[in-house]
Structure 1
Amino acid sequence: MGNYPSALQQCIDTVGNGRSGFAAYPSNPFYQISWTKPYNLDVRVTPAAVVRPQTAEDISGIIQCATVNNVKVQAKSGGHSYANYGLGGDSGAVAIDLVNFQHFNMDKTTWQATIGAGFRLGEVTKRLHGAGGRAIAHGVCPDVGIGGHATIGGLGPMSRMWGSCLDHVIEVEVVTADGKIQRANDNKNSDLFWALKGAAASFGVITEFVVRTHSEPANVVQYSYSLNFGTQAEMASYYSAWQDLISNPGLDRRFGSLFIMMPLGAIITGTFYGTDDEYHASGIPAYLPKSDNQVVANDWLGSITHDGENEALYLSNLPNPFYSKSIGFKREDMISREGIKKLFSWVDKQDKGTLLWAIIFDAAGGAIGDVAMNGTAFAHRDKILFYQSYGIGFPLSDKTKKFLTGFHNQVLSVAPTGTFGTYAGYVDPALTDGQEQYWGPNLAQLQNTKLRWDPLDIFHNPQSVRPIAS
């Protein structure tokens, strides 16, 4: 009896109408390797089906199949969820892989671009560049999918200047829980559009984005400084100076920066969207360590490539077993100098369980905070800094998890009381209050919107928005 297809499989295969490469199931050979492709190998999940639709109508049919069979649904774009939420997060969901949604168009009158939800960020950058030297704010990892990135937030080095990636989205096509193919913007289905800009995995499957674009910056200055072969305690004074820089309310918005703790030292990076003269006139170099060959000038595409290479130094794009923690800081949450010394000295004394670890402090704020806290579902407009930690192991050890959990607890102990909340792009399945951490004061409105658009909770992962009790 086990060889007979389930009702769910029969329904999905009917939608596919015999097309090759349309869907696969756990019984298929190489299902995990060729179809599921989990990003975090420490989070084991087996979807009931992985489907690669070609049209919004296909997606509508798949959602209806899942609903009839009481199965949850999640969309997968790049598949870089830290907890494999694009695969459902728990076993037994239908994963809708958007890889075939690769259409692109630029309206050269409005300079608005239509971008398919299956694109990766590296390709988005190239397409926008080729369509008139245009750009949007986004992260620098080239293989991250825009489908999740532009709906959960989308933070990157240009976000202080232009806002988050989702702040560029002016309209979407989305398939909702009832199987309808909808357009959503500020005027049509505006409550849904609000929710999609920060929590889309809980509300539908977006097939395309319409985004406003900018002219590419003509000049980019990039700074990189490595502090090698030292203890973390020796890095504390450098971090204090860097924190003073990025927490300055008058910091030039054209500047984005990272401070990265790593084995044997740290790295400070900076990206300034302007000329070298403007960079020095900003006063920023005075806060950064001096070194020969520390600044490189790039064009726009070169700067994106350079930032992507820096990111690859501490978080591989390849699937790995890894563990991660994070939190966001408001301006009043900055850690004191004594607290920084205590925190960095604590790191030196720990057994990390791996040599593959990094702790990244990432400057935010600027234009991100120009939008009201409830202007979109994204609820971290008041944050000027995020930290994220990563530990990779083959296998991942309990020592590594204990180290990163301990670091997180140390951060909370030295930060001002009340420091709370983290970006859903750094999803943490260990959080028992994930919804409150991710969406904060916007959660109640999201729960009400969920009740209207997805009362049966079809679009579900372990930490997605739930419909408020009617």
Structure 2
Amino acid sequence: MSGNYGHRRGAGIAYDEVPASLADTAVEPGDVDYTRVRSTYLRGGAPGLVLRPGTPAEVADALAFARAHRHLPLGIRSGGHGISGRSTNDGGIVIDVGRLDGIEVLDEAARLVRIGPGARWMDVAAALAPYGWALTSGDYGGVGVGGLATAGGVGWMARKHGLTIDHLRAVEMVLADGSHVRASDTENPDLFWAVRGAGANFGVVTAFEFEVDEVGPVGWAQFVLDGSDPAGLLTRWGAAVEAAPRDLTSAIIMGPPRLGQPAVAQVMALVDSGDPATIVAQLQPVADVAPGYDQQVVVTSYASVMANAGRGDHHGQGEPIARTGLVAHLTPAFTEAVARLLRSGVVYFFHVRSIGGAVTDVDPDAMAWSHRGVNFHVTAFGRHRTRLDALWDELLSEHLRGTYLSFETDSRPERLAEAFPPRTLARLRTLKKRYDPDCLFRDNFPIAPDTASRKTP
């Protein structure tokens, strides 16, 4: 933090009081590094100060500074890829934990690894590959560990190996009051329950401990299919995925019809097997859901599948507009609603990822992410907030069974109720009162503390 550009400093920030432990790495408007840290993958931002702690103690210092600036927005950033864009802001403070990016094996026999929140999933996959291990972790290698591993983690091996948080065994984190705690099934178990699905509300995780899986070569397929009948295609694809062995996890991307161009859909699928015959047998029903224009099937490593991101800085612009939800089955009624949404021209990108399988094996009450009876996660991106919300609410909402906040940008209070069923939300509110009663962590779908036990004046 140079201080040479004081005339560009934001209002309401005591720049000269930044803790000494953070001053050398802090970035403010006008600094050379500012353009590299101001925005996220999808959202343009103009924070007044970006703090970049490199140790848990420095995270505590950063939170102390944030507590002294409660009048400003606060974003917590690991990789900056969050669809909601809430890890940046305008005029506020961002705590970027990207420097906490270590990856180490704690116990090779138990396949226990320790990962920092700033690590990227492609680097995690590459580090685990020499051991013959993998950890299901979203579908884009550039995503930071911290945001995904506190929210859920729907990845390319979800049907075989569950969510990313299903493999979490412990966390180390700094709470709102600056205390550094460890949480697991035996240490602060209530906090550990909350972190797995609602972690953004309870503190900054400085280390994750995961039990990873033995995963060898995998089959990776990409198909370009005829998308002229989007409702029929989605219905058939959904049925094929649900009928497939758990080895297979798939996703489909669709868009609106384009004048003069054939309508196409992109289908990706991973088969957790290195046997070519098994791979082909499991992929064939998926490939047969519509006539194909192109296909590519390879036997490769999970690490190579996740090596799909660059290492450059984020330079997002504007405000992302997305709606998302969870659905049990891709019924004809639901897929026709999707087709109407696509024909409206309001949506330019529609994405469905398969869940189900091993995800459903976990008790819904085991952790804050409790939507265990669904088979698909759907997301739509649009360019106009009001029009997208209106059509989504009209056409799709009745078919949904909850939501996954990592892909949501609508801030209406109904979203929180969709993300957490009543019993789950009530428990989270009780824990919020205990761990963050003053709501320091309030900028990423904040959970209100339970006030039922407070005395009225």
TM-score by length of 2: 0.85
- Indicate the SS of the match to 2:165: helix
Q: For residue 239 of structure 1, what is the amino acid of its counterpart?
A: L
- Indicate the SS of the match to 2:40: coil
- What is the CA distance between 1:193 and its match in structure 2? 1.1
Q: Which residue of 1 aligns with 2:429?
A: 447
Q: Does 1:227 align with 2:225?
A: yes
Partner residue of 1:12 out of 15, 18, 25: 18
Structure 1 unmatched ranges of 5 or more: none
C-alpha distance in structure 2 between counterparts of 1:257 and 1:283, whole Å: 10
- What is the CA distance between 1:155 and its match in structure 2? 0.8
Q: Which residue of 1 aligns with 2:253?
A: 260
Residue-by-residue CA offset, 1:294-346 (whole Å, 9 max, x unaligned): 3513221465158x48xx9xxx9862444211111124xx432x553464256
Q: For residue 330 of structure 1, what is the amino acid of its counterpart?
A: A
- What is the CA distance between 1:154 and its match in structure 2? 0.9
C-alpha distance in structure 2 between counterparts of 1:339 and 1:171, whole Å: 38
- What is the CA distance between 1:424 and its match in structure 2? 1.2
Q: Which residue of 2 aligns with 1:119?
A: 119
Kindly report which structure 2 residues correspond to 1:30-179, keeping only aligned pairs within 5 A, or say none: 33-41=35-43, 45-71=45-71, 73-87=74-88, 91-106=90-105, 107-130=107-130, 132-179=131-178
Deviates more, 1:321-330 or 1:172-181: 321-330
CA contact (8 A) 1:225 1:289 kept: no
- What is the CA distance between 1:49 and its match in structure 2? 2.1
Q: Does 1:195 align with 2:201?
A: no
Q: For residue 359 of structure 1, what is the amino acid of its counterpart?
A: F
Partner residue of 1:319 out of 284, 297, 316: 316
Cα root mean square deviation, aligned: 3.0
Q: For residue 259 of structure 1, what is the amino acid of its counterpart?
A: I
C-alpha distance in structure 2 between counterparts of 1:435 and 1:402, whole Å: 19
C-alpha distance in structure 2 between counterparts of 1:12 and 1:189, whole Å: 31
Q: For residue 370 of structure 1, what is the amino acid of its counterpart?
A: D
C-alpha distance in structure 2 between counterparts of 1:303 and 1:7, whole Å: 44
Q: Which residue of 1 aligns with 2:349?
A: 358
Change (3 A) 1:450 1:339: closer
- Indicate the SS of the match to 2:166: helix
C-alpha distance in structure 2 between counterparts of 1:207 and 1:380, whole Å: 26
C-alpha distance in structure 2 between counterparts of 1:269 and 1:412, whole Å: 23
Q: Does 1:385 align with 2:376?
A: yes
- Indicate the SS of the match to 1:85: coil
Question: Number of residue pairs matched?
Answer: 431
Partner residue of 1:238 out of 213, 229, 233: 233
Change (3 A) 1:92 1:464: farther
CA contact (8 A) 1:429 1:463 kept: no
C-alpha distance in structure 2 between counterparts of 1:272 and 1:252, whole Å: 9
- What is the CA distance between 1:465 and its match in structure 2? 1.5
TM-score by length of 1: 0.83
- What is the CA distance between 1:451 and its match in structure 2? 0.6
C-alpha distance in structure 2 between counterparts of 1:300 and 1:403, whole Å: 42
Change (3 A) 1:292 1:222: farther
Change (3 A) 1:195 1:305: closer
Q: Does 1:23 align with 2:29?
A: no
Residue-by-residue CA offset, 1:37-73 (whole Å, 9 max, x unaligned): 23333xx654342100111111111212222343564
Change (3 A) 1:278 1:351: closer
- What is the CA distance between 1:402 and its match in structure 2? 5.7
Q: For residue 57 of structure 2, what is the amino acid of its counterpart?
A: E
Change (3 A) 1:45 1:35: closer
Partner residue of 2:331 out of 335, 357, 360: 335
CA contact (8 A) 1:51 1:94 kept: yes
- What is the CA distance between 1:6 and its match in structure 2? 6.2
- What is the CA distance between 1:32 and its match in structure 2? 5.2
Question: Identical aligned pairs, as a percentage?
Answer: 24
Q: For residue 25 of structure 1, what is the amino acid of its counterpart?
A: E
Structure 2 unmatched ranges of 5 or more: 1-5, 257-262
C-alpha distance in structure 1 between counterparts of 2:334 and 2:116, whole Å: 46
